[in-house]
């Protein structure tokens, strides 16, 4: 481990000089043991009994989407879908923030990770992450794709992320909502992050960058998990937090490609990342053994409470946040596909957790129906998961990842539709939420039944079954499915009070219709594929 800039390649130093960044000591691509040692010495975290590093992220235990900005310039002005998700920041304000950051960091110690986003060599992005926390570079080392020794010597980053945890914007002067900021500048190929220690901002900032760059190359970027069967059949799992994306894609009978971010090119699909970032609140070995066993030496746990006597992580403790996380490299999962590339998907599954208890457990989607539900991105937030939520609340996040999509939902949906047609991909909608009544009355879908439905979809068994049409949600529902009781497949029959079901179902259908009104340029064939109310 060097304690001077002499070990840093000239190319890296030249980039810092070109950016007028003048830190003191720079430590680049340290090994995992070295990073752990430094982080512990600096008091950034503590080692658990599993060997994983446990850190606390301070006031932010999750992303801050309202503090994310894209620089509005001649590169982005006419291409970005500006609005509630993509907030503009002028070039002048960006330079004001960046200028103060450069002054602030002068002479300070910084850590550097050089690596890649994208497992496909034709579509990977060389990146550089610079931050003032050793544990965040450990996070980057585990979550992004590490270079070989030869690649490291010749590394030439095309995008740089610069994060300073204790530097804040002057919002009245620099045009930000608060002192916290995540600013993406596509003209300068630069991301600035300040006044937040939540590492998910680093991961998702680079995801947002890929979501802008790849469509211009004809590659469809996706917020989804992916796995592959023994015969090479690939499946994608789209879904928002809490829908079961990670759980259902971690199938012992199939190999994991990735748990969160992928691209779909003319050659197949590929993972953006080299690691996983799993939620671990209430994690149990018997339920999710792969994730449990992956939280070992080298993994990074965010906001997980450690028992001071046993040093064991207490995954049931949500006192800091329900959004406890663990980051670990993909090779910690047995049988994971590395490099994580695979064939074109045979099946796509959209996951929703409907807390109102009215969506069918599984339904088949047409191409237009797939585009509609992709653009809708529906699930429910539950009471108690966020302050102020006292009863289930509907959530619509377009493309199953609205905070990370710089372009319009229709642009991404068109790419999805084209891929479905070209590769004859089957699409299903699966509800992992409630049946027999809403949250608090009915019961959560039986995981055994859900896994059986997923299996039937992946093996093609569902295509041999007959279907009936749900006229409220405008969906085709199988009348039978191996391993699933027939009465489970018809949600209305699971309610004792059919009138209450009809009222609740029509209410949710109308919420779909109302949400879809914002897509004013969508053709009628897609609009008509959604719920009717």
pLDDT tens sequence across 270-321? 999 999 999 899 999 988 888 999 999 999 999 999 998 999 999 999 999 9
- State which residues of the chain have pLDDT below 50: 1-6, 383-390
pLDDT of residue 252: 85
pLDDT of residue 510: 97
* 533 within a domain of the structure (yes/no): no
Final residue in a domain of this structure, among 305, 332, 359: 332
- Range of 288's domain? 276-332
Residue 223 annotated in active site? yes
Q: Tell me the C-alpha distance between 318 and 391, whole Å.
A: 20
Q: Count structural domains, the chain.
A: 3
Both 430 and 513 in a single domain? yes
pLDDT of residue 3: 41
Both 451 and 414 in a single domain? yes
Query: Among residues 396, 392, 404, 408, which one has the least CA distance to residue 441?
Result: 392
Interval 401-431: pLDDT, tens:
999 999 999 999 999 999 999 999 999 999 9
Q: Return all residues near 367 (Cβ < 8 A) that are at least 6 apart.
A: 417, 420, 421, 427
Which is catalytic among the residues 57, 246, 324, 425?
246
Which is catalytic among the residues 241, 385, 459, 504?
241
Which is catalytic among the residues 133, 325, 367, 419?
325
Residue 7 annotated in active site? no
pLDDT of residue 2: 40
Which is catalytic among the residues 68, 155, 204, 381?
204
Both 116 and 244 in a single domain? no
Which is catalytic among the residues 223, 262, 279, 373?
223
Final residue in a domain of this structure, among 149, 183, 217: 217
Interval 210-259: pLDDT, tens:
999 999 999 999 999 999 999 999 999 999 888 988 889 988 899 999 99
Which is catalytic among the residues 114, 120, 251, 260?
260
Which is catalytic among the residues 28, 50, 63, 397?
63
Both 303 and 376 in a single domain? no
* 52 within a domain of the structure (yes/no): no
Q: Tell me the C-alpha distance between 320 and 20, whole Å.
A: 38
Both 286 and 428 in a single domain? no
Q: Say if pTM beats, i.e. exceeds, 0.85.
A: yes
Residue 63 annotated in active site? yes
Both 500 and 438 in a single domain? yes
Token output for 88: 């503009």
Which is catalytic among the residues 245, 346, 367, 381?
245
Both 124 and 175 in a single domain? yes
Alpha helices in 131-199 (DSSP H): 134-143, 149-153, 171-174
* 162 within a domain of the structure (yes/no): yes
Residue 246 annotated in active site? yes
Residue 260 annotated in active site? yes
Both 227 and 211 in a single domain? no
Query: Among residues 439, 250, 445, which one has the least CA distance to residue 362?
Result: 445
Residue 158 annotated in active site? no
pLDDT of residue 385: 42
Both 324 and 280 in a single domain? yes
């Amino acid at each position: 481990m060097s304690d001077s800039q002499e070990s840093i390649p000239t190319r890296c130093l030249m980039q810092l000089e070109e950016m007028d960044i003048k830190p003191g000591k720079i430590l680049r691509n340290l090994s995992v043991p070295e990073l752990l040692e430094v982080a512990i010495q600096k008091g950034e975290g503590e080692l658990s009994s599993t060997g994983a590093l446990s850190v606390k992220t301070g006031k932010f235990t999750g992303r801050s989407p309202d503090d994310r900005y894209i620089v509005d310039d001649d590169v982005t002005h006419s291409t970005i879908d500006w609005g509630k998700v993509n907030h503009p920041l002028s070039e002048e304000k960006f330079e004001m923030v960046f200028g103060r950051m450069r002054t602030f960091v002068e002479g300070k110690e910084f850590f550097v990770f050089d690596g890649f986003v994208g497992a496909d060599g034709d579509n990977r992005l060389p990146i550089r992450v610079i931050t003032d926390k050793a544990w965040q570079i450990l996070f980057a080392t585990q979550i992004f794709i590490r270079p070989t020794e030869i690649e490291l010597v010749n590394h030439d980053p095309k995008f740089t992320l610069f994060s300073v945890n204790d530097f804040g914007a002057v919002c009245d002067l620099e045009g930000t909502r608060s002192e916290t900021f995540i600013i993406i500048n596509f003209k300068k190929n630069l991301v600035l992050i300040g006044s937040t220690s939540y590492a998910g901002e680093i991961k998702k900032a680079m995801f947002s960058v890929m979501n802008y760059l790849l469509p211009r190359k004809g590659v469809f970027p996706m917020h989804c998990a992916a796995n592959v069967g023994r015969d090479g059949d690939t499946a994608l799992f789209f879904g928002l937090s809490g829908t079961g994306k990670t759980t259902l894609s971690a199938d012992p009978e199939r190999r994991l490609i990735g748990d969160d971010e992928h691209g779909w090119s003319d050659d197949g699909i590929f993972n953006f990342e080299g690691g996983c970032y799993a939620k671990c609140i209430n994690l149990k070995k018997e339920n999710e053994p792969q994730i449990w066993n992956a939280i070992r030496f080298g993994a990074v746990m965010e906001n997980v409470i450690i028992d001071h006597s046993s040093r064991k992580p207490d995954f049931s403790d949500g006192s800091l946040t329900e959004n406890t996380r663990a980051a670990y490299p993909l090779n910690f999962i047995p049988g994971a596909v590395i490099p994580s590339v695979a064939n074109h998907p045979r099946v796509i599954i959209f996951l929703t957790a409907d807390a109102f208890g009215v969506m069918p457990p599984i339904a088949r989607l047409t191409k237009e129906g797939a585009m509609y539900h992709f653009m809708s991105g529906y699930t429910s937030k539950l009471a108690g998961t966020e302050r102020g939520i006292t009863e289930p609340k509907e959530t619509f996040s377009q493309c199953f990842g609205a905070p990370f999509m710089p372009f319009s939902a229709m642009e991404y949906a068109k790419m999805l539709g084209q891929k479905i047609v070209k590769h004859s991909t089957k699409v299903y909608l699966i509800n992992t939420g409630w049946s027999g009544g809403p949250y608090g009355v009915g019961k959560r879908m039986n995981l055994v039944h859900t896994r059986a439905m997923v299996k039937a979809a992946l093996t093609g068994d569902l295509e041999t079954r007959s279907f009936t049409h749900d006229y409220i949600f405008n969906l085709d529902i199988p009348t039978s499915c191996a391993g699933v009781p027939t009465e489970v497949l018809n949600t209305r029959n699971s309610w004792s009070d059919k009138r209450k079901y009809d009222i609740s179902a029509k209410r949710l259908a109308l919420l779909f219709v109302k949400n879809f009104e914002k897509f004013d340029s969508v053709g009628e064939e897609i609009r008509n594929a959604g719920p009717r109310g």
